[in-house]
Amino acid sequence: MAVDAFLEGLVVATSPEMLLWLTVGLLLGIILGALPGIGSPVGMAIVLPLTLPLEATAAIILLVAIYSGAMFGGSISAILINAPGTESAAATTLDGYPMSKNGLAKNALAIATTASALNGFLAAILLVVLSPVLIEVVLAFGSPEYFLLAILGISLITIVTQGSIVKGLVAGALGFMISTIGTAILSPRPRFTFGQFGLYEGIDFVAALIGMFAFAEMMKLAARDQISDDDVELAGSVRKGIMTIFKYPVTTIKSGLIGMGIGMIPGSGATTSTFVAYAEEARSSTKDGKFGEGDPRGVIAPEAANNPTVSGSLVPTLSFGIPGSGSTAVLLGGILMHGLQPGPVLFGDQLNITYALFISLFLGNVLILAVGLTLIPFASRITELDTNVIIPMVVVLSFAGAYTLNQNWWDVGAVIALGILGFYMVRNNYSIIAFVLGIVLGPIAEENFFRSLQISGGEYTIFVNPIDQPLSFLLSLAILAILLGPFVKGRAERMVSSS
């Protein structure tokens, strides 16, 4: 069955139509990723409603291509102007920008392109090889486990992103709460609509994604002038940059494995993986490393980790519906919007779509290498854009896109309201990813919560019964360990230090 699905996926992914969407997505992703303040989640959120007329596979391939392209694009502004286009490129600034200042901008960009594409390519192969194991794991999960996974995802996000756990939990619970507006899932009863017919279908999660990522980000960007204040000089050699990758094969492969491994953990994204890869490289190269002063390994490590993280993050997103970052939250939104269901269906009847996606990722990385290396001489142009030109266009696209979802003006209003909320949440260290995850997963969590209670006859012990539901019990334990672990550890450390 898996071989048939793979071959079917191969035919779909290599069809001219899919290759076109893949290329369009990659180019869009590279440009959006290179614009600080835009990045992949904003770009994907704006494009999401525009994919409505597309067939599901084409839409998902387009979104993944934007995500993958933005991972590389983010490094352009990180290296040239010290302002990462995406959060995941922040680690690249640490040595990428000093390389630019040392007259090696082209080398750094070539390193970023090659490391990103090469490891993305290898990770996509690994993903295809791993998928039979994934299928087995996914099929072992039932309603109680899916409900607990949603809680686990939010819990993980609260501790992966720095800040107070309570703030993260409030953000996640608020997302769940907002998702209950509209007609109830299990009975045709309108909830919290207060007589407004426009609210009967609830607040569309895509509108929430647009508000939280696009509108909130534009509010932040409004205070910024031109993206780059400095004149960017593109010096150095592309060829020497490519060769540098092959001088450090261990760094490249190790960082790729770190990226893919961390990407697979629900709740963690490329921001974590690139910093971990950078920190590990700095730790293991203490003798000859000049990290922070333009050491090429400081660019290889985060860039070799970022694209494998995309492949890794598809594992929890597609198998359990738990995204690891803003971008994968938008991707999950796209999957649900197009009627696909993460979990057993995507690894069962729709396995061909999953394989088509993996194969596109593989082809996408080949394209990144070709497009990326061609774009290097023009890279600095992207960073010269004026924010006042970007903002009104993003607002127009966001509003038109949000209205297109259901032809409902409440969705456009939600973009503004949630955008303002997102802006202040970010300013005060509340995780907007936890909030968005709550909104996206709310209906799935509620449905599985009630199915579980129906199975158990209303007994909440179904979530903690070690004999009948060992998997649920383990998940509940994991949630407790995640939420209380850091405090127990902190108290233990304080006790040891005081004694």
Nearer to another protein, 62 or 367 (CB): 62
CB 349, min distance to another protein, A: 28
CA dihedral 149, 154, 156, 159 (to 10 degrees): -160
- Residue 200: burial class (beta carbons within 10 Å; 0-12, 13-18, 19+): middle
For residues 10 and 395, which CB has a smaller minimum distance to another protein in the complex? 395
Please give the radius of gyration of the chain, using alpha carbons only, rounded to the nearest integer. 22
Scanning the structure block, which residue is given the tokens 């334990």? 477
* Shorter beta-carbon distance to another protein: residue 161 or 472: 161
Residue 112 Cβ vs another protein, minimum distance, rounded to whole Å: 16
Q: Which amino acid is at 54?
A: L
Q: Which is nearer to another protein, 282 or 373 (CB)?
A: 282
Distance separating alpha carbons of residues 162 and 173, to the nearest angstrom: 18
The HSE-up count of residue 267 (CA atoms within 13 Å, CB side) is: 22
Distance CA 192, CA 199 (A): 8
3-class DSSP state for residue 191?
strand
**Can you spell out the DSSP letters for 469-483?**
-HHHHHHHHHHHHHH
Distance CA 471, CA 137 (A): 11
Are the C-beta atoms of residues 20 and 61 closer than 8 Å to each other? no
CB closer to another protein out of 137 and 396: 396
Nearer Cβ to another protein, position 218 or 361? 218
The CB-of-184 to another protein minimum distance in angstroms stands at 4
Which two structure tokens, joined as six digits, stand for 22? 């893949």
Using the minimum distance from each CB to another protein, give the nearer residue, 364 or 401: 401
**Among 44, 45, 38, which residue's Cα sits nearest to residue 208?**
45
For residue 138, the minimal CB distance to another protein (Å) is 24
In the block, tokens 């199975």 appear at 455
- Shortest distance, position 76 Cβ to another protein, whole Å: 17
Return the number of the residue (31 or 218) whose C-beta is nearest another protein: 218
State which residue, 466 or 490, has the beta carbon closest to another protein: 490
Q: Please, what is the minimum distance in Å from the beta carbon of residue 330 to another protein?
A: 20
Residue 488 CB-density burial (10 A; 0-12 exposed, 13-18 middle, 19+ buried):
exposed
Comparison of 361 and 412: residue with beta carbon closer to another protein: 412
Q: Shortest approach of another protein to residue 406 CB, angstroms?
A: 11
Q: How far apart are CA 478 and CA 286, in angstroms?
A: 35
User: Minimum CB separation from another protein for residue 371, in Å?
Assistant: 24
Please identify, using beta-carbon distances, which residue of 116 and 161 lies nearer to another protein: 161
Q: Please, what is the minimum distance in Å from the beta carbon of residue 202 to another protein?
A: 12
CA pair distance 165, 425, nearest whole angstrom:
14
Within 8 A by CB and 6+ apart from 203, the residues are: 178, 179, 181, 182, 410, 411, 414, 418, 439
Q: For residues 89 and 77, what is the distance between their CA atoms, to the nearest angstrom?
A: 9
The distance of closest approach from Cβ of residue 53 to another protein in the complex, given in angstroms and rounded to an integer, is 7
Closest CA to 108 of 375, 297, 381: 297
Least separation, in Å, of the C-beta of 393 and another protein? Answer: 6
List the one residue out of 208, 150, 138 whose CA is nearest residue 446: 150
Residues, the chain? 499
